[in-house]
Amino acid sequence: MLKLIALLFFISFSSFAQTPSGNPPKDANHAQMQGNDEAAPKAAISGEKALNEFKFIAANVELEPIRFLPVHHNGRLKPLDTLAREVMMFVNGSYSRFSVPAVQAYLALTRYEGAGFVEIVEVRDVQLRQELGFLKEKRFFSLAELQSTQLGAMSEPIQKKQEQNAKSLTAHDKAVLEVLQQASLLSEVISGQHIMQSADYTFLDNNHGAQNSPNGMNSDVQAQIPKFFQSLSQPGEVQKQQAQALISIVRSQKTPELFQHSLEKMETEVFFNNAQFFLWASILSLVFGFCFFMPLFKNKISFRTTTFLYAIPLAILVTGLAFRIYITRFAPVTNMYSTMIWVSFGVLVFSLLLFVLYKNYVLPGLSLIASGLMLMLTYQIPLILSPDLDPIVAVLRNNFWLSTHVTTITISYAAFTIAMVLGNTALVRLWLYRDNEAFFKEYSHYAYRMIQLGCFLLTMGIILGGIWADYSWGRFWGWDPKETWALIADLGFLAIMHSRLIGWTTSFSLLAWSPVAYLLVVMAWYGVNFVLAAGLHSYGFSSGGATAMAIFVVLQILLLVAGFARLRMLRASSSKI
Amino acid sequence: MSEIIKKLNQNKFFKFASSVRLAVPLMLILGVCVAYGTIIESNYNAEYAAMAIYKSTWFGLLIILLWINIFAATISRIPFKQHHTGFVITHIGLLTLLIGGFITNSNGVDGQLVIPEKQTSSSVTLPHLMLGYQFDGSPSPQVIKFKKTLSAQNESDLKGLNESLGHLFTVKSYIPFAKIEKEFVESTQPEDQGVALSFILKSNFFNVNEWLHSESNPSMKMGPATIKIVKVDDLSQPMLLRSAVHKVEKRTVNSTSTTKSSQAAFLILTDLKDPKKVKKINISELQKQKVSVDGIQISLSKLYQHAVVSENKVTENPNPTVANPAIEFFIEKNGKKLREVLYAKFAGFSLNKDGAFGYRFAFEAKDIEAVPTSPHGGSGAPSTMEVAPTSDAASADMLTGAQAAMKGDNTIIFSVDPKEKSKARVTLIKNSQVVQTEILNEGQSLQTPWMGMKIFLGSVRSKATESIVATPINPEKSQQLPPSAMLIATTGSPSQEFWLAEGEQKQIQIAGKSAVVYFGRQSIELPFELKLEKFSKIDYPGTATPMSYESLVQIGKTGIIQKISMNEPLKLDGFTVYQASYSITPEQTLSIFSVNQDPGRPLKYAGSLILGLGIIIITLMRSRVWKNYLKRNVKNA
């Protein structure tokens, strides 16, 4: 059914594209990735020339008010601003590669007749670039370039394989499919079909679907979009007029009740997109964190200054989280991205607590840097850690449990993160100073406190999870991989805490083992969803970053081994003296 | 009390049992074991992981050891002092929680209830296995629980099981994962008269190993060739085509019997949505070729005459050949293949009780005498030289020109004389001409003049009955687990040995009485019936991302309609019914519920509460505020 609608859209679009408008009609074949020679227009434009012309058109697009246009995509209403950002991120790997906002780039693609020659599709797999006959250094390709390759033929057996068993796809298969999807999304955008489908959501409302036209589509929206496209090459005032007209037509559609709250949030979401709260929180945390180690500042920082330095990134983070909650209407702990932000927040809060209790001025520095780095990581890899605000799977649709069980579990990771940072600091410090005993004694106490807090929160979180599972799946505990790994992480830290009672862990080894036990947290947090990909907690299965994570694990273990060796060496040499 | 503890604390063993020295390794071992379990689950599935780790005996012992450790650690602190408060409460909480878990594990019910839309069910399938038997005429089956293990078990491991069976029959061995293959064995039952043999056809292009049975599976097509088995009286008389005239005459006899049987035996398909829509398929039709109904491919696997013999009725009936016929066949649609067994007299024994692909299946065989299989030397009838199977394609004169050209008319006929063991005559026919004929012993081979094809004679059975052979195999990664199987021997004489795969049943004789043995999942009946009125999967508008799953069910015949959805279970009579899964195919909508009764629940909740309280107390009592408060108290005192 959807396909049929898409087809109808396409036909209607083609018909208006051929109306005399002063511009030659676009090559309709762009919409299909056939890889045949017919698709290439007669007069090819060089990539560079196309890029310049494209940029010129993009710079001419009026951002307001069109970026507030409500569009329907992935189960919610979002402003065109968000949709354009998501499209550019997927196709191009960046929100603003051409130093223009995503909306301008998106709309310029629909307008520019040479759009098929703009080198915009990011082929991320180096091997695939070579297989397609490109230089491996070249990263971005135009649609026309991709159409001249064997991509279409390459993907056919893979698509068959995917239909039979999606699990059997190799990394290379996935890379081929991804480029194919990128290319077809781009051609949809260029043809205008993409915005058409997204802006006309009349068909979603079952009861009123057929009101405007027999095929369930809204003829007003269909008529206005071409008018708006044509205005894009006209002065800004005309553009604004047409955009405003389009917005009011789109907003007057029948909207499913579930979406209605979103209509009021278009401006808010655009503001949230562009304010980049989490990036600012990250930068400020890093800068403030380093202040604690700068010879110039570090002696001048008072108790009050420290709380102030905490307050700023915390306030920004909280604001950002508040925006997320306001827009989505659920707790911000539904995917890897949002939990990492939540944990960064926890690191700041718990380390502030430690600071207030113990007045140690190294702790805030370490924790601010740790929190800043974690936020920076989420900002840097949006393709793996998706920041989208799209709706959650059925089982998570319970705000009470989401905001008790999940938040408790994940905030416990924050306490463990601080213990891990302290542990790694100790392991590194061994190589810088000879006398570490006083440091170990003091910091192992902080780490112990954090482990205690973490175990408390994790245990409570597990129990809350058990109650939720009992309530909605019918069993308190079912050895599901996610719950099992949470238990393993808990057991790991509990073992450290208990072995301190009988002297199996000393102040140094408590610090040294904390980062190792943290690897269990990493497994529970990241590994179950990204590596094991099994079990009932199927809301977060994803992939990517496995290699980086493996390197991290190996480095962490090497650091531990090296630390113990170094300590032995130091103790041996000191006992000789 | 505290005196006993004092003494205990001097005991070396108790000291170790209550020590952190035991607790820390236990925690680490537990962690490693369950971590391994999650990897198994990722590779295979949750059921395999549960059998390998979580539900295994040694894992249970590990948990018990942990419990003893915590318990000993707790009581060793008696008499408790103020600073023990948090410790004691926390650990009591843990102990309670673990007991709750044990009670759930041993007494709880955690099963699955599958209801198709507009149908009623109250039968919950449990994850545990059972072995059951039921004598004909007895109202209810005897059920013996059986724990599925990952290791194979032989007769000595199964002693306990056999004792609880009261040695009515014996379970000889158990295989956790079995490859099930059909074969024919020599029968001890007088009613089994057919002959059977296995053969291998080998060439550069293929290598097939198959069984033929003169009654249930007399011929098969393999490319352009037809391969058949024929029961004969004298092997030394070669089959010659000059007997064609004789055969034609006989074929008339056969075809009348076919006509007769075609009036008698039918496969009946009832439309699930509209019970008035009924389709009848003549069994003789099905014997000739696959039949397609409404996109469903039906292919006959076997016809049984004596699949279920009711001893009493046989004696009442003057005709001793009256049997209780059954039919085994495969139904296939959209690449999905199901096996179905139907008994003419026991409709309830169907493998797909609730129907499949939109139809319910039934087997009707009114005139049982004429159940269309080969005539097996009927009493007093003069034995014929060549007894050909019903759909006789042996002689060329049966084929029209077009068919002959298409099929190439290559026929291989195996003739078996029940009197001569381990021997068969192979006759090769091409274009109505006998090309070659030779008598082979078991294991011998014959080089054919066709494309270098060789025929190996496998085993020959003079009085054959079908049996399955289960061989142990290892499950493959990310595939469905193969079924388990049991080797069962009847104790009476003559004793009979047969394999029973998980989910299968068989008719046997126990002490001269007829009974059905069943090996498969345990199930229980709920005290109430649920009728699925409607299942709906609601997506986020415009996407395929599900937003919620809902089932509307009617409880019993009360007319009360309840909604069961994710996060909103139905609680009734101590059972809780959850929306667990669903299956929507063009033919049918199924809602899958998980049904649960958890006697350990109160303890688990109490344990959680106590545990949480304990941790809070520990945290508070270690805090500075508390310590300062204590100091002030000491000063004041």
pLDDT category of residue B351 using cuts at 50, 70 and 90: low
> Considering only residues 530 to 549 of chain A, which have any Cβ-Cβ distance to chain B shorter than 8 Å?
532-535
User: Residue B246 pLDDT more than 50?
Assistant: no
| CB-based contact, A452 to chain B, within 8 Å | yes
3-state secondary structure B372-438: CCCCCCCCCCCCCCEECCCCCCCCHHHCCHHHHHHHCCEEEEEEECCCCCCEEEEEEEECCEEEEEE
Contacts of A92 (CB under 8 A, 6+ apart): A120, A121, A122, A140
Which residues on chain B are in Cβ contact (under 8 Å) with A256?
541
Specify if A508 maps to a domain: yes
| CB-based contact, A356 to chain B, within 8 Å | no
User: Residue B244 pLDDT more than 70?
Assistant: no
Q: Give the integer Cα–Cα distance in Å for B210 and B213.
A: 10
Residue type, A1: M
Question: What pLDDT, on the 0 to 100 scale, is given for residue B402?
Answer: 32
Q: Write down which residue in A365, A391, A417 finishes a domain.
A: A391
Give the predicted TM-score (pTM) of the model: 0.75
Q: Give the integer Cα–Cα distance in Å for A217 and A7.
A: 12
Question: What pLDDT, on the 0 to 100 scale, is given for residue A537?
Answer: 59
Residue of A208, A408, A488 to mutate, interface with B, max B Cβ within 10 Å: A488
Residues B178-194 have pLDDT tens digits of 988 888 888 777 777 78
Q: Give the integer Cα–Cα distance in Å for A211 and A252.
A: 13
CB contact under 8 A, B37 and A484: yes
pLDDT category of residue B315 using cuts at 50, 70 and 90: very low
Distance in Å, alpha carbon of B542 to nearest chain A alpha carbon:
6
Q: Give the integer Cα–Cα distance in Å for B148 and B170.
A: 18
Residues B440-458 have pLDDT tens digits of 888 888 888 777 788 899 8
Q: How far is CA B103 from CA B97, B100, B130, B268, in A?
A: 10, 5, 21, 48
Question: What pLDDT, on the 0 to 100 scale, is given for residue B308?
Answer: 38
Per DSSP, A24 falls in state P
User: Residue A367 pLDDT more than 90?
Assistant: yes
Contact A503, B599 (CB under 8 A): no
Q: What is the residue-averaged pLDDT of chain A?
A: 84
User: Residue B590 pLDDT more than 70?
Assistant: yes
What is the count of structural domains for chain A?
Answer: 3
Structure tokens that stand for B617 in this block: 């107390």
Spans of all domains in chain B: 2-108+600-636, 110-123+524-597
Q: What is the residue-averaged pLDDT of chain B?
A: 78
Helices A151-164 and A171-191: angle between axes, nearest 10 degrees: 110
| CB-based contact, A196 to chain B, within 8 Å | no
The beta-carbon neighbor of B543 closest among A75, A488, A501 is A75
Residue type, B187: S
Q: Give the nearest chain A residue to B548 (CA atoms).
A: A394
Contact B222, B208 (CB under 8 A): yes
Distance in Å, alpha carbon of A78 to nearest chain B alpha carbon:
13
Q: Give the integer Cα–Cα distance in Å for A495 and B22.
A: 11
Q: Write down which residue in A371, A391, A411 finishes a domain.
A: A391
User: Residue A518 pLDDT more than 50?
Assistant: yes
Burial of B289: CB neighbours in 10 Å, binned 0-12, 13-18, 19+ = exposed
Which residues on chain B are in Cβ contact (under 8 Å) with A532?
38-39, 41-42
Specify if A11 maps to a domain: no
Which residues on chain A are in Cβ contact (under 8 Å) with B578?
472-474
Establish how many alpha carbons lie within 13 A of residue B594's alpha carbon, considering only the half-sphere containing its beta carbon: 21
Q: Residue B487: what are its φ and ψ, rounded to 5°?
A: -100, 120
pLDDT category of residue A25 using cuts at 50, 70 and 90: very low
Question: What pLDDT, on the 0 to 100 scale, is given for residue A523?
Answer: 93
| In a shared domain, residues A382 and A445 | no
Q: How far is CA A575 from CA A244, A570, A571, in A?
A: 81, 9, 6
Q: What is the DSSP string of A292-317?
A: TT-HHHHTT--HHHHHHHHHHHHHHH
| CB-based contact, A456 to chain B, within 8 Å | yes
Residue type, A148: S
Residue of B15, B89, B543 to mutate, interface with A, max A Cβ within 10 Å: B543
Which residues on chain B are in Cβ contact (under 8 Å) with A74?
540, 543, 545
Strand partners, B113: B593
Q: Give the integer Cα–Cα distance in Å for B511 and B509.
A: 6
Q: Write down which residue in A196, A231, A262 finishes a domain.
A: A262
Distance in Å, alpha carbon of A294 to nearest chain B alpha carbon:
32
> A108-122, A310-324, B270-284: which range is least confident on average?
B270-284
CB contact under 8 A, B101 and A492: no
Longest dimension (CA), chain B: 125
Contacts of B469 (CB under 8 A, 6+ apart): B180, B181, B182, B183, B499
User: Residue B489 pLDDT more than 80?
Assistant: yes
Structure tokens that stand for A305 in this block: 């200054």
Distance in Å, alpha carbon of B627 to nearest chain A alpha carbon:
14
CB atoms within 10 A of CB A226: 18
> A6-15, B227-236, B330-339, B535-544: which range is least confident on average?
A6-15
Specify if A267 maps to a domain: no
For CA atoms A426, A431, A433, A438, the dihedral sign is positive
Alpha helical stretches, state H, B325-443: 401-407
CB contact under 8 A, B41 and A481: yes
Question: What pLDDT, on the 0 to 100 scale, is given for residue B9?
Answer: 86
| CB-based contact, A359 to chain B, within 8 Å | no
Which residues on chain A are in Cβ contact (under 8 Å) with B611?
459, 463
Cα A422 to its chain centre, rounded Å, is 28
Residues A31-74 have pLDDT tens digits of 333 333 334 444 677 888 888 888 888 888 888 889 999 999 88
| In a shared domain, residues A143 and A204 | yes
Distance in Å, alpha carbon of A244 to nearest chain B alpha carbon:
25
Question: What pLDDT, on the 0 to 100 scale, is given for residue A375?
Answer: 96
The beta-carbon neighbor of A484 closest among B34, B549, B604 is B34
Helices (H) and strands (E) in chain B, counts: 13, 32
> A468-477, B92-101, B396-405: which range is least confident on average?
B396-405
Contact B197, B229 (CB under 8 A): yes
Q: Give the integer Cα–Cα distance in Å for A306 and A303.
A: 5
CB contact under 8 A, B38 and A534: yes
Q: Give the integer Cα–Cα distance in Å for A339 and A331.
A: 10
Contact A387, A340 (CB under 8 A): no
Helices A336-358 and A437-472: angle between axes, nearest 10 degrees: 140
Question: What pLDDT, on the 0 to 100 scale, is given for residue B312?
Answer: 30
Q: Give the integer Cα–Cα distance in Å for A293 and A475.
A: 50
Percentage above 90 pLDDT, chain A: 44
> A440-444, B31-35, B192-196, B367-371: which range is least confident on average?
B367-371
Q: What is the DSSP string of B76-103?
A: TTPSP-GGGHHHHHHHHHHHHHHHHHHH
Helix (H, G, I), strand (E, B) or coil at A83: helix
The dihedral region occupied by A519, where left means phi > 0, alpha psi between -120 and 50, and beta the remainder, is alpha
Per DSSP, B568 falls in state B
User: Residue A454 pLDDT more than 80?
Assistant: yes
Helix (H, G, I), strand (E, B) or coil at B158: coil
Higher pLDDT, A18 or B436: B436
| In a shared domain, residues A407 and A333 | no
| In a shared domain, residues A152 and A57 | yes
Strand partners, B584: B589
The beta-carbon neighbor of A391 closest among B31, B545, B596 is B545
Q: What is the DSSP string of A199-229?
A: H--GGGSGGGTTSSSTTS--HHHHHHHHHHH
Higher pLDDT, A535 or A56: A56
Percentage above 70 pLDDT, chain A: 88
CB contact under 8 A, B541 and A256: yes
Average pLDDT of the segment spanning B211-227:
81
| In a shared domain, residues A148 and A225 | yes
Distance in Å, alpha carbon of B104 to nearest chain A alpha carbon:
9
Specify if A171 maps to a domain: yes
The beta-carbon neighbor of A394 closest among B41, B54, B566 is B566
**Residue range(s) defining the domain that contains residue A518:** 400-577
Residue of B59, B69, B567, B578 to mutate, interface with A, max A Cβ within 10 Å: B567
Residues A205-227 have pLDDT tens digits of 654 434 444 556 777 888 888 88
Specify if A325 maps to a domain: yes
Question: What pLDDT, on the 0 to 100 scale, is given for residue A536?
Answer: 59
Which residues on chain B are in Cβ contact (under 8 Å) with A480?
46
| In a shared domain, residues A407 and A385 | no
pLDDT category of residue B33 using cuts at 50, 70 and 90: very high
Which range, A270-274, B461-465, B511-515, B558-562, is most confident? A270-274
Q: Give the integer Cα–Cα distance in Å for A133 and A135.
A: 7
pLDDT category of residue A576 using cuts at 50, 70 and 90: low
Q: Give the nearest chain A residue to B609 (CA atoms).
A: A463
| CB-based contact, A475 to chain B, within 8 Å | yes
Contacts of A479 (CB under 8 A, 6+ apart): B34, B37, B41, B46, B49, B50, B53, B54
Question: What pLDDT, on the 0 to 100 scale, is given for residue B305?
Answer: 59
The beta-carbon neighbor of A394 closest among B49, B548, B594 is B548
Percentage above 90 pLDDT, chain B: 19
Q: Give the integer Cα–Cα distance in Å for B627 and B631.
A: 6
Q: Give the nearest chain B residue to A532 (CA atoms).
A: B42
Q: Give the nearest chain A residue to B607 (CA atoms).
A: A463
Specify if A4 maps to a domain: no
Q: Residue A147: what are its φ and ψ, rounded to 5°?
A: -70, -25
Question: What pLDDT, on the 0 to 100 scale, is given for residue A81?
Answer: 94
The beta-carbon neighbor of B42 closest among A394, A499, A532 is A532
Contact A473, A402 (CB under 8 A): no
Structure tokens that stand for A57 in this block: 């058109």
| CB-based contact, A451 to chain B, within 8 Å | no
Average pLDDT of the segment spanning A174-190:
91
| In a shared domain, residues A489 and A556 | yes
| In a shared domain, residues A187 and A225 | yes
User: Residue B531 pLDDT more than 50?
Assistant: yes
User: Residue A7 pLDDT more than 80?
Assistant: no
Residues B376-391 have pLDDT tens digits of 333 333 333 333 333 3
CB contact under 8 A, B24 and A495: yes
CB contact under 8 A, B39 and A357: no
The beta-carbon neighbor of B619 closest among A456, A473, A481 is A456
Specify if A3 maps to a domain: no
Q: Give the integer Cα–Cα distance in Å for B436 and B438.
A: 7
CB contact under 8 A, B624 and A357: yes
Residues A337-351 have pLDDT tens digits of 999 999 999 999 999
| In a shared domain, residues A232 and A283 | no
Contacts of B227 (CB under 8 A, 6+ apart): B199, B201, B210, B212, B219, B220, B221, B411, B412, B413, B414
User: Residue A257 pLDDT more than 70?
Assistant: yes
Q: Give the integer Cα–Cα distance in Å for B63 and B105.
A: 12
Tally C-beta pairs within 8 A across A and B: 154
Question: What pLDDT, on the 0 to 100 scale, is given for residue B325?
Answer: 64
User: Residue B4 pLDDT more than 80?
Assistant: yes
User: Residue B195 pLDDT more than 70?
Assistant: yes
Q: Give the integer Cα–Cα distance in Å for B334 and B340.
A: 17
